[in-house]
Structure 1
Amino acid sequence: MRLALLALIFIIVMAMVMLMSNALARRAATRARLNEVRGERLRLTDSASLRGDTMAKGWHKLTEIIEKSGISLVDTQGETLRARLIAAGYNSPLAPKLFTAIRLGMLVLLPAILVGLIFLGGTEISPFKLYLFGVGLAVFGLYAPNLFISAKADRRREAIVNGFPDSLDLMLVCVEAGLGMEAAFDRVGREMQHSHPLVAQMLSIVTLELRAGSSREEALRNMASRTQVTEIRSFSTLLIQSDKLGSSIGETLRVYASEMREKRRMRAEEKAHRLPVLLSVPLVACMLPVMIGVLMLPAIIRVIREMLPAMSGG
């Protein structure tokens, strides 16, 4: 009995030692992995920031060289162009000048490429056609960047509108939990970095402006002007009026979140109702001629077999 008891105690002690050693080993491995991930994230952040600084310096030198050569890159509608570029996601101060430089480059480069290909290929083309194609390419190069900026701005607006109701729900939870407006914006911005990065970026910029000393009204109006989205502009105006009148922010967020969800549902229903109309065009253009041919072909063959001999006197 004594030996059995000692053996049982030895087994229990060894089991406890093994369990503790395994737990410590797992904890050490987890800590090492976290340190490795943290170091890799810092390295990627530093390299990305250095790469961004290098690219910004390169673009800045390029614009300086172009302007020193006598070509002005200042647009006559600078504020409007700046607002369009910000709505498309280009927040750099050099963005308007780079946009103008790209337009001028494509205006000259595309016709030059056409002329070079014609002369290198040895193709003979009339001066009128060469002039016509050159003008067409020049016009395309002049307006293609505008179309690209407009399309990208529309995609960003759509992404913001689709993700904004979810951010309002999270913001309502934060406000009802006791957080202020600035803290709610910061919390929601950090929570939505992966699901809706554009909305998270928008809220993070508002938080930074509030922390920098801007008033709440100024920060909200800047948010509306940056995004150029009707729903965001209405939301900013609603929050400013609620702040001035002293009404409940939570109730305001609840009502507006319900309206945003209803609008999103109505947009989805509108797209669903448009689908049969859009499908009717390819159905009529592709399937209707085939169906008519399949139905009428036997009758046409029979008419040909019976009418042609009778008409020829057979």
Structure 2
Amino acid sequence: MLEFASSNWVIRALVLLLIFGVVAAVVLFVSSATSRRIQVVRELAALGGEGGAAQETLTRQRSEGAWARMVKRIEAAGFSLSDTAESEISKQLKAAGYISQSAPRVYTLVRLILIFALPGLWLVAAWLRPEPPTLWQLYVGSAVLMIMGAYLPNLFIRAKADRRRQEIVNGFPDSLDLMLVCVEAGLGLESSLDRVGRELATTHPRISEMLTETTLLMRAGASREDALRKLGDTAGVDEIKSFATLLIQSDKLGTSLATTLRVYSSEMREARRLRAEEKAHRLPVLLSIPLVVFMLPTMIGVIILPAIVMSIREVLPAMTGGS
């Protein structure tokens, strides 16, 4: 059957047409989603200074709503997407910026799709080859792609969490300086968080989103302690957790908020400088690897090549008794 399908040009043309249709549908879906996103960005940009902070929130809510509806339809059909390690998955997703309640089930759905989609594409590609692979090759290739489909989302989430954590850590000293200026100008903690969140909407949108959410929690009636602890848990960064704890202690003990912000901002900037120096000191060690792998063999070859040529011309004939 496979030999007949691979040799018949009609069947191969139909399969290629089917693949083209799937790719065209995916491209159409992505282009329509991109156009809607661009339209939302333009509408929010016309609203004023708060458009940057609202942009990320609204677009994320729209995408999360689509995924949430898909998950609800699948679970309504009787297929459960809950995981035994859902708490750990939820923690990883929050560190990457996915704070929706349906994010763990969406993550499980994406993993299931990749587990079946990657081996399926491999089987289709192998079927369209002029010489079909052996059963062992199909089995090994499908198993490797299934493992990749199971672990690729995890790697993506970890990489995104690391990038998000790095962006927050690098931009947080700037927000502390702005907050210090607001506090010294006479604003309270809630007003300072709100003002800094609006000012950082363009330069540091992630920090702006967290500060804006904390401000909204305070305005909704939550206590300062609960709102600040929520800020530390949402960020998933040790520096911001320490900052939230420091603000809570300063609020309870009645110490100066400006002094607290000034000292902690100085410590954060010093830590950022030390991280930069650490990366700079690592460069010689990292550069030594390509130097040893690529340049050292070439230099050794250039140095000993004349001696090898001389040995072949003079020493070897003398050893063999030649002239």
TM-score (norm 2): 0.79
For residue 260 of structure 1, report the CA deviation from its aligned partner.
Answer: 0.5
- 1:233 equivalent to 2:276? Answer no
Aligned residue number for residue 156 of structure 1: 164
Aligned residue number for residue 165 of structure 1: 173
Structure 2 counterpart of 1:87, which letter? A
- 1:304 equivalent to 2:304? Answer no
CA distance in 1, matches of 2:56, 2:238: 33
CA distance in 2, matches of 1:241, 1:51: 36
Q: Please point out which of 65, 68, 83 is paired with 1:75.
A: 83
Instruction: After superposition, give the CA deviation of every residue in 1:104-146 in whole Å (9 maximum; x if it has no partner).
Output: 1111111111112112224332322322221111111001101
Aligned residue number for residue 211 of structure 1: 219
Residues 298/48 of structure 1: CA separation in 2 closer, same or farther (3 Å cut)? closer
**Structure of greater relative contact order (alpha carbons < 8 Å, 6+ residues apart):** 2
Aligned 1:18-97 pairs, distance under 5 A: 41-42=46-47, 55-97=63-105
Structure 2 counterpart of 1:59, which letter? W
For residue 47 of structure 1, report the CA deviation from its aligned partner.
Answer: 11
Larger Rg: 1
Count of residue correspondences? 277
Instruction: After superposition, give the CA deviation of every residue in 1:78-123 in whole Å (9 maximum; x if it has no partner).
Output: 2332232222122333322211100011111111111121122243
Residues 53/170 of structure 1: CA separation in 2 closer, same or farther (3 Å cut)? closer
Aligned residues: CA RMSD: 2.5
Structure 1 contact 206–223 (Cα < 8 Å) conserved? yes
Q: Please point out which of 160, 171, 183 is paired with 1:175.
A: 183
Structure 2 counterpart of 1:88, which letter? A
Aligned residue number for residue 5 of structure 1: none
Aligned residue number for residue 22 of structure 2: none
Identical counterparts, % of pairs: 53
- 1:279 equivalent to 2:284? Answer no
Aligned 1:83-122 pairs, distance under 5 A: 83-122=91-130
Structure 2 contact 44–55 (Cα < 8 Å) conserved? no
- 1:142 equivalent to 2:150? Answer yes
Residues 244/165 of structure 1: CA separation in 2 closer, same or farther (3 Å cut)? same
Structure 2 contact 94–236 (Cα < 8 Å) conserved? no
Residues 185/109 of structure 1: CA separation in 2 closer, same or farther (3 Å cut)? same
TM-score (norm 1): 0.81
CA distance in 2, matches of 1:145, 1:219: 31
Task: Flag structure 2 segments of 5+ consecutive residues without an equivalent.
Answer: 1-41
Structure 1 contact 83–226 (Cα < 8 Å) conserved? no
Aligned residue number for residue 264 of structure 2: 256
3-state DSSP class of the match of 1:121? coil
Instruction: After superposition, give the CA deviation of every residue in 1:139-158 in whole Å (9 maximum; x if it has no partner).
Output: 11001101101100110000
Residues 58/270 of structure 1: CA separation in 2 closer, same or farther (3 Å cut)? closer
Instruction: After superposition, give the CA deviation of every residue in 1:233-281 in whole Å (9 maximum; x if it has no partner).
Output: 1111111111111111111111111110110010011000011000000
Structure 1 contact 171–188 (Cα < 8 Å) conserved? yes
Residues 214/123 of structure 1: CA separation in 2 closer, same or farther (3 Å cut)? farther
Structure 2 contact 82–105 (Cα < 8 Å) conserved? yes
CA distance in 2, matches of 1:309, 1:303: 9
Structure 1 counterpart of 2:122, which letter? L
